[in-house]
Chains A and B, each alone.
Chain A
Amino acid sequence: MANSVTDNSRRRFLKRSTLLASGSLLVGFQIPVQAANKPAAYQDSLTSLMADAFIRIDSDNTVTLLMNHAEFGNGVYTSMAMMVAEELDIDWQLLRWEAAPTEPRYYSPIFGEYLTAGSVSTAGAFIPMRTAGAKTQALLLQAASLFWQTPATSLTTRPGQVVHPDGRRVNYGDLLPVIRDHRLQAPETVTLKAAKDFKILGQSQKRLEGAEKVTGEAIFGIDVKRPNMIYGSVVRPPVYGSKVVRFNADQALSMPGVIKAKAIAAGVVVLARDYWTAQKAAKTIQVTWDDGGLGVLSTERFLDDYRALSNSPGMLAEDIGNALEVTAAAETVFESVYEMPYLAHATMEPMNCTAQVNADHCEIWVGTQYQSNDRTLVARLLGFKEEQVTIHRTLMGGTFGRRASKTADFITDAVEAAKGETVPVQIIWSREEDIRGGHYRPLFVHRMRGSLDDQGYPEAWHQTAVGQSIMQNTKHDPAYMVNGIDIYSVDGCLQNPFGVFPYGTSYQIPNHRVESHNPPKVGVHPHEWRAVGHTHTGIAYECFLDELAFHGKKDPLSLRQHLARDHDRMSAVLARLRIEANWDAPLSAGRGRGVAARIYSISPIAQAVEVSVSGDGTFTVDKVVCVVDCGFAVNPLGIEAQIQGGVMLGLNAVAYGAIDMVDGQVQQSNFHDYRPLRFHQMPEVEVHIIQSDAAPTGVGEQATTPIAPAVANALFNATGRRVRQFPLDRHGFTLKA
């Protein structure tokens, strides 16, 4: 554990120091060591010292990293710690982490907001965290140099300590007084290690917060306990978006332990001494709702409307060559309609938030991906200034995008409930509320038309995407909506992509036309869901490509290799996949192989799957081989976990996932009818990472998409039957229970 050394000169020195007992040393990369210029600040609270820093060294020798990306299973805390540790010689046992506060200096350098999303955290942190580590290391060497009156160049470090040429050592924490007394500052610029010299980055590192996740000590939002805290359960409307007209809580209020019932925007909240009591009482409340006419909506009707729309011209996202003329002139035009349902995120930890609202301050404890937006919206709700709202970010029991809420919906619930109360209020969503919570991967219809050249290769491609826009009429509208087209609606389908995430398909088809319709945003709140647009565009694109391969008598993987031949990184991924998946080996009857490939947030990824299908359509996924090029692989172990997780979530969705609405009401409610993938259904997932010196890019969402079309393609390969409507279990193929 702690490194303790005896060093008499150090002890004498420390005795002279009057500042030993106080605080911390902060080092940041944006404003170098402001704290060192302000000794008085050391008397301040820790919070005030965190202003511009990523690394804190305390006098007990702990090194605390201020994490400005959220940890929800993505492994980003571990990656960020590795980045720091590559430059700063850290004793891993003395390493601590905290969620960095909601201040602009901690905003994502990629988004300009405090947002963890888009599989870009590793890319965004790669330079800042290494720089912070290098500056801290330089500062400590400088301090030790003064401490021993020895040139800094003669000093070395070991984890947590600077080492004198004669073998003496000093703990980092014991150098704090030197830094203060001499008002030392980290250098303005540092030279970062070259990749060839990395000792930590690129090596598999176990999860930084792994231990607390096996002992039950990890604190998720739902685990927050505050003095005198009470609990709330919200009666939400059966039709999402309805408003409370009136309610009767007489029975609820007569129950022991029930404190209060009141209307908030989301419904009626019941406050009680424990969550069970609140939930039980909530069930007795009678609410009259105004559904604003939304009670007539149904997903069947949406599908009918979208199918019709897909036959009419949409907004033109891309028109390369002349797909309309080529298909009009073609002898045979292949046409398919793909339909993907709404999907709920169903994170294992249901939405929750704890809030305390005083006259001039609001404090919030929550697992969130998007705390700058949360703070803005809470401040607006309360009529506060942003600095009157403090958000304490906890760990998250999954998110898959749900906890990056553009409306801060699960946070404002708690703030509204806590407003007017003198104690903190924790709102927990029941699983039913969570599944019926209205925030879904949008339902999409893609009409695909294509024709082949005389060699059997795709010559024309005409795709029309129809589904509710995620970004339309949101604060992100200007950046993500280009000429009315939500880039998420056609994500990964364009050969000349545009917008803020310009990553299209790796394929080149000479005539390529993509259109998009934004049907009305009613009934639900279309929301990002791990891999966002790709979750539906990827199925349509990669399955229809498979159809064209079949009609053109091409091997599906060979066709992709042909179409991606000008894309070096994807070509390498596909070539590797061919080998690792043993693609060309024969399969026995009843078995099938399928492939799909995508680029998501720069990283090319491809998967090959093997399925076994019995006569009644019951199938198993026997093996998934995944090859990914995510640039420099910061933590191979973490990458493997993300790929396995993405595969599982994508397979789960394609096998079972669907949210249906009838008369405006979501039909699913819990894990019996919104079925999770079970333990024994998880295929073996083999992960191969392309070795690369390119800047690191994402892996968090990349694996979610290819698995779905790869499985559908493999089922076709095994049976000759093509599924174009999802989930599979409604269309003849049931994942073995």
Chain B
Amino acid sequence: MLKIHVNGQSHEVDASPDTPLLWILRDHLHLTGTKYGCGVSLCGACTVHVDGKATRSCAIPIAAIGNQKVRTIEDLATNAPGAEATDYHPAQAAWLAEDVAQCGYCQSGQIMAAVALLDSNPAPTDADIDSAMAGHVCRCGTYQKIRAAIHRAAKQQRGI
């Protein structure tokens, strides 16, 4: 059994140690918000945070995770006890405000990348956004709205 720490919880999984984190999340923990797109770090659909760093879960075996903490899209929004509405992360709220998603499949990875960017750079420029998002593929054409959403989230986080 392998141990893994995901979204504030410890799990034990019965899987081969070379299994990429992506398939541990999806097939063993049923956290399907993290998506399979290419399997070789080319598209970013599988992006999660490992100790706060945006990481391609398709290319990192569970054995390499060790005690690091994994955070997935499912952990971004929180529901306070008794709250009626979802408490969205500012990036998610901005995604909704800009109506970014079309098919939506790549958006978990896009959002996780954007959150990591905003965590390290609270006021990203267009060039910063280009460089942070260049590895994240969308085939529906939402890039323009993703850019607007990241700027919006940044402003909101800075209280502007």
Are A214 and B92 in contact, CB atoms less than 8 angstroms apart? yes
A457 within 8 Å of B (CB atoms): no
Using a CB–CB distance below 8 Å, which chain A residues touch chain B?
Answer: 1, 72-75, 206-207, 209-220, 222-223, 225, 231, 256-257, 273-277, 280, 346-350, 395-400, 428, 430-431, 637, 641, 644-649, 652, 670-672, 676, 678-680, 682, 684-685
**Which 9 residue pairs spanning A and B have beta carbons closest together?**
A216-B33, A397-B105, A648-B141, A213-B104, A73-B103, A645-B141, A73-B102, A216-B73, A223-B32
Question: Closest CB of chain B to A219's CB: distance in Å?
Answer: 7
Are A348 and B138 in contact, CB atoms less than 8 angstroms apart? yes
Are A641 and B102 in contact, CB atoms less than 8 angstroms apart? yes
Q: What size tier do the contact residues of chain B reach?
A: 35 or more
Known contacts: A211-B96, A649-B141. The answer to whether A274 contacts B15 by CB under 8 A is yes
The chain B residue with its CB closest to the CB of A224 is B32
What residues on B are CB-neighbors of A676 within 8 Å?
Answer: 43, 137, 139
Are B43 and A231 in contact, CB atoms less than 8 angstroms apart? no
What residues on A are CB-neighbors of B73 within 8 Å?
Answer: 215-216
By secondary structure, the B interface counts as loop
Instruction: Give the docked Cα–Cα distance between A645 and B18 (Å).
Output: 37
Question: Closest CB of chain A to B42's CB: distance in Å?
Answer: 4
What residues on A are CB-neighbors of B85 within 8 Å?
Answer: 1
Question: Closest CB of chain A to B127's CB: distance in Å?
Answer: 9
Using a CB–CB distance below 8 Å, which chain B residues touch chain A?
Answer: 15-16, 18-20, 23, 26-28, 30-40, 42-43, 45, 72-74, 76-77, 84-86, 88, 92, 95-96, 99-108, 111, 129-130, 133-147
Are A214 and B95 in contact, CB atoms less than 8 angstroms apart? yes
Are A397 and B16 in contact, CB atoms less than 8 angstroms apart? no
The chain B residue with its CB closest to the CB of A215 is B77
Q: Choose among A222, A645, A670 the residue that contacts B102 (Cβ–Cβ < 8 A).
A: A645
What residues on B are CB-neighbors of A672 within 8 Å?
Answer: 40, 42
- 13 pairs, A vs B, C-beta closer than 8 Å: A73-B101, A212-B104, A213-B107, A215-B88, A231-B27, A257-B15, A274-B23, A275-B36, A276-B15, A350-B36, A400-B139, A644-B144, A649-B141
Question: Closest CB of chain A to B118's CB: distance in Å?
Answer: 15
Known contacts: A219-B32, A670-B42. The answer to whether A396 contacts B103 by CB under 8 A is yes
Instruction: Give the docked Cα–Cα distance between A678 and B130 (Å).
Output: 9
Are A398 and B141 in contact, CB atoms less than 8 angstroms apart? no
Q: Choose among B19, B40, B106, B143 the residue that contacts A682 (Cβ–Cβ < 8 A).
A: B143
Q: Which of B26, B45, B85 has the most CB of A within 10 A?
A: B26
Are B134 and A679 in contact, CB atoms less than 8 angstroms apart? yes
Q: Which of A225, A637, A649, A671 has the most CB of B within 10 A?
A: A671
Are B35 and A214 in contact, CB atoms less than 8 angstroms apart? no
The chain B residue with its CB closest to the CB of A231 is B27
Beyond known contacts A222-B32, A280-B16, A397-B105: 8 more, CB 8 A cutoff: A210-B101, A214-B92, A637-B99, A646-B141, A670-B38, A670-B39, A671-B38, A679-B147
Are A72 and B107 in contact, CB atoms less than 8 angstroms apart? no
Are B103 and A348 in contact, CB atoms less than 8 angstroms apart? yes
What residues on A are CB-neighbors of B96 within 8 Å?
Answer: 206, 210-211, 214
